[in-house]
Amino acid sequence: MKRYSIFALLFVFGIHAYAPAREVLQLNQGWHFFFRSETSSDNARYVTLPHTWNADPTREGVLLEATGNYRNNMFVPTDWAGKRIFVRFYGAQNVADLFVNGSHAGTHRGGATAFTFEITDKIRFGTDNALLVVVSNASRNDVLPTSTDINLYGGLYREAELILTSKTAVSPLYLGTDGVLVHQHIATEEKAEGEVEIHLTSKSVASAPVTLDITAPNGRCVLTKRIHARIDDNPLRIAYSIPSPRLWSPEHPALYTVTVTVGSDDDCDRVSVRTGFRSIRTGEGGALLLNGQPVRLRGVALHHDNSISGGALKDADYDDDLQDIRTLGANALRSVVMPHAQYLYDRCDETGMCVWIDTPLHRAPFLSDAAYFATPQFQQNGMEQLQEIVAQHINHPSVLMWGIFSRLWTRGDNVTPYLRQLHEAARALDPSRPTVAVSDQNGSINFVTDLIVWRQDVGWSKGKVDDLTLWHDNLQEKWSHLHSAIEYGGSGFIGHESYTAQPDPIKNRMPEERQRLFHEEYARLLQNDSLFWGVWIENMFDYGSARRPYGINGMGLATIDRRTRKDAYYLYKALWNRKSPTLHISGRHYRRRNVPKQSFHLYSSAGTPLLLVNGDTVAVNEYAPCQYRSDTVELQGRVVVKAAAGKLRDEMIIQVGNVAKPKGSPAPPRTTGRQTTN
């Protein structure tokens, strides 16, 4: 059966064993999965990659930490005996070991980056070969992240592939990349200059001819260089200079193709990558400059799951999420804690979405957590993951910055020297991009990275929202020389009604109303503030978190299933998306109200709305840009609320009257937290 499968792949992809060029075969089919705790593989489940054993993030808040085995038997034809064979996995959460025919081929520690092993010497040609991947998502103190509230779902949760090359090839082994990294030194309207870093490998020759071609977005070749290069452990570096380039920008996402060919025409290997030329740097007054012009980012934090795919996201999931982000009017997204799949960044390159990618040095808001372990194993893993993240995403012009850490505490071991090491390593690997961090602390930790994003939670977990003005003025007076942005958010669950005029104090009740009011005040105080180069909303969508009371982190502007947009979503759509006007009456999920006196909050980017309550006109006043509030009216029974602004219409129905206040908070899931198994 497997012989038929592998030859079917060869036929479908038009691959011939004697073809000189690189061949790539998908390795997503034919996997059999079983837990290590099972005594036999007889009952193994047939699965297709991407796969995770935690498929439902909303299942009673349970996250299974386990070790899983993935087996695949593939027939390797004798014609491949002259090839080199590599296997690449684009994501295994969190630690993976590969065995080929019983022999250990390698280990990878870190769940969000690709890794490649050469398996040529372990293959039996002309017969079946057994691949076994042992994957564990159990918590470890030497693999980052060690503190997070996102679910690390486990499994081979991204795609896999076989790579066949000639004896001499562009190496697929360098930090999980394709072996071609484009470094930008200058990117202006006059010229783009830099160098292409090429990693070569050979098992037959000490040198070989190498050709570099760069093709413009219109398909015209703008540069060709041919050299005879020595092949050793050092990468080959070829300088490039392109006059009058088309610069990449959100408005004009121009992409170039860089192709490297090594070897002769009858025995060669060829790799092509896409990139775009643009400059990103800090400017005076805390500004962020893209191609020399100030850019203000309107960003959202994007996590790594949904209710359908769990953490094993498909291309269509990313397409849908990116469309929702664009509809919101955001021009940037933050890959929180770790990178997403490469497909997302390909789409961001093509559509002009700006990106910030985190490394997994992150602290969740739980007092019992330790985010930083001052051990050589922890520090080495953090450095390795940083290097992989930079190398694997350096060619994406949409990626503007590297996240070094997020919300670390400054108590205990002094983490600052290690953070400086990570910052310096990122700058050495890629001087063309700034580093960034999220901080809710005071002290030296805020002076490590090029950019700093403040996450103070003023008005949510401490103080009042009005205190934000005091914090802002103090920042402007004393620290305006820092390149600052701000990130904020708060939980709001649809169905957690307030029932009273004020948010309900019952434990674990997190009504959408409180989230809405919080965002309204922050938006009023911060929109178009010149002190910040960006405003980041946490989060775009709710996400699975077994450590939270309901198994969900409810800070999203939309629900984890993407079916329902919360009120705060429409607030930012009104502020940010002027191409598609917005009119929205907030509070539509708060349908039962026991307070007779009511006022209504509306969001409109189409001018002052007309408000009708049970057919009567009610006056509205502009509270802040795109925010309108009505006069207070006394109501009873079924109430129909309608609004109009230009050609836009919105309507909701509420019930006003005596509503029995619940005696307790909503029943939590029967089980919360993590489960473990071997």
- Report yes or no on 21 lying in a domain: yes
Q: What is the pLDDT of residue 5?
A: 41
- What residues does 649 pair with on adjacent strands? 644
> Could you tell me if 327 and 424 lie in one domain?
yes
- Secondary structure of 307-342 in the HEC alphabet? CCCECCCCHHHHHHHHHHHHHHCCCEEEECCCCCCH
Sequence-distant (6+) residues with CB within 8 A of 12 are none
Q: What is the pLDDT of residue 507?
A: 66
Kindly state the average pLDDT of the residues 158-170: 97
Structural domain of 244? 180-280
> Could you tell me if 654 and 551 lie in one domain?
no
Percent of the chain with pLDDT strictly greater than 90 = 81
Q: At residue 663, does pLDDT exceed 80?
A: no
> Could you tell me if 305 and 160 lie in one domain?
no
Backbone φ and ψ for 8, nearest 5 degrees, come out as -65, -40
Backbone φ and ψ for 60, nearest 5 degrees, come out as 55, 25
> Could you tell me if 467 and 573 lie in one domain?
yes
- Report yes or no on 242 lying in a domain: yes
Q: Looking at 253, 280, 307, which one is the last position of a domain? A: 280
Q: What is the pLDDT of residue 582?
A: 98
Q: What is the pLDDT of residue 40?
A: 80
Q: What is the pLDDT of residue 284?
A: 85
> Could you tell me if 586 and 571 lie in one domain?
no
Q: 269 is written with which tokens?
A: 């290997």
Q: What is the dihedral of CA 158, 163, 168, 171, to 10 degrees?
A: 0
- Which CATH number do you get for residue 411? 3.20.20.80
- Report yes or no on 8 lying in a domain: yes
Tokens 């795919």 correspond to what residue?
309
- Which CATH number do you get for residue 596? 2.60.40.10
> Could you tell me if 314 and 451 lie in one domain?
yes
How would you classify the pairing of strands 160-165 and 103-109? unpaired
> Could you tell me if 84 and 199 lie in one domain?
no
Which DSSP state fits 218? T
Task: For helices 376-393 and 416-429, give the axis angle rounded to 10 degrees.
Answer: 30
- What residues does 145 pair with on adjacent strands? none
Q: At residue 529, does pLDDT exceed 50?
A: yes
Q: What is the pLDDT of residue 310?
A: 93
Q: What is the pLDDT of residue 18?
A: 40
- Which CATH number do you get for residue 45? 2.60.120.260
- Report yes or no on 290 lying in a domain: no
What type of residue sits at position 269?
D
Q: Looking at 520, 554, 579, which one is the last position of a domain? A: 579
Which DSSP state fits 412? S
Backbone φ and ψ for 475, nearest 5 degrees, come out as -65, -45
Q: At residue 229, does pLDDT exceed 50?
A: yes
Q: Which of 15, 640, 586, 541 is nearest to 322 (CA)?
A: 541
Asked whether the whole model's pTM tops 0.95, one would answer no
| Numbers of helices and strands, H then E, in the chain | 8, 45
Sequence-distant (6+) residues with CB within 8 A of 4 are none
Question: Are 46 and 117 a contacting pair, CB within 8 Å?
Answer: no
Q: What is the pLDDT of residue 480?
A: 83
- Report yes or no on 366 lying in a domain: yes
Residue 296: CA count within 13 A, CB half-sphere:
12
Which DSSP state fits 156? -
Distance linking the first and last C-alpha atoms of the chain: 31
Kindly state the average pLDDT of the residues 82-105: 97
> Could you tell me if 428 and 548 lie in one domain?
yes
Q: At residue 437, does pLDDT exceed 50?
A: yes
Quick: pLDDT tens for 605-649. 999 999 999 999 999 999 999 999 999 999 999 999 999 999 999
Range with lowest mean pLDDT among 116-125, 160-169, 287-296, 526-535: 526-535
Question: Are 224 and 213 a contacting pair, CB within 8 Å?
Answer: yes
- Report yes or no on 291 lying in a domain: no
- What residues does 362 pair with on adjacent strands? 406
Quick: pLDDT tens for 463-496. 888 889 999 999 988 888 889 999 999 999 998 8
Q: Break the chain down into helix, strand, coil percent, rounded to 5.
A: 20, 35, 45
How would you classify the pairing of strands 399-406 and 435-439? parallel
Question: Are 61 and 95 a contacting pair, CB within 8 Å?
Answer: no
> Could you tell me if 36 and 102 lie in one domain?
yes
- Report yes or no on 323 lying in a domain: yes
Q: Which of 464, 415, 469 is nearest to 441 (CA)?
A: 415
> Could you tell me if 389 and 459 lie in one domain?
yes
- Report yes or no on 667 lying in a domain: yes
> Could you tell me if 564 and 586 lie in one domain?
no
> Could you tell me if 472 and 502 lie in one domain?
yes
Residue 15: CA count within 13 A, CB half-sphere:
21
CA distances for 389 relative to 86, 293, 341, 553, angstroms: 20, 27, 11, 26
Q: Which of 364, 457, 352 is nearest to 398 (CA)?
A: 352
Sequence-distant (6+) residues with CB within 8 A of 368 are none
Q: At residue 457, does pLDDT exceed 90?
A: no
Structural domain total, the chain: 4
As a whole number of angstroms, the distance between CA 645 and CA 604 comes to 7
Which DSSP state fits 523? H
Q: Looking at 107, 135, 169, which one is the last position of a domain? A: 169
The whole-chain average pLDDT of the chain stands at 91
Enclosing H/E stretch for 426: helix 416-429
Q: What is the dihedral of CA 146, 150, 155, 160, to 10 degrees?
A: -100
552 three-state secondary structure:
strand
How would you classify the pairing of strands 332-335 and 354-358? parallel
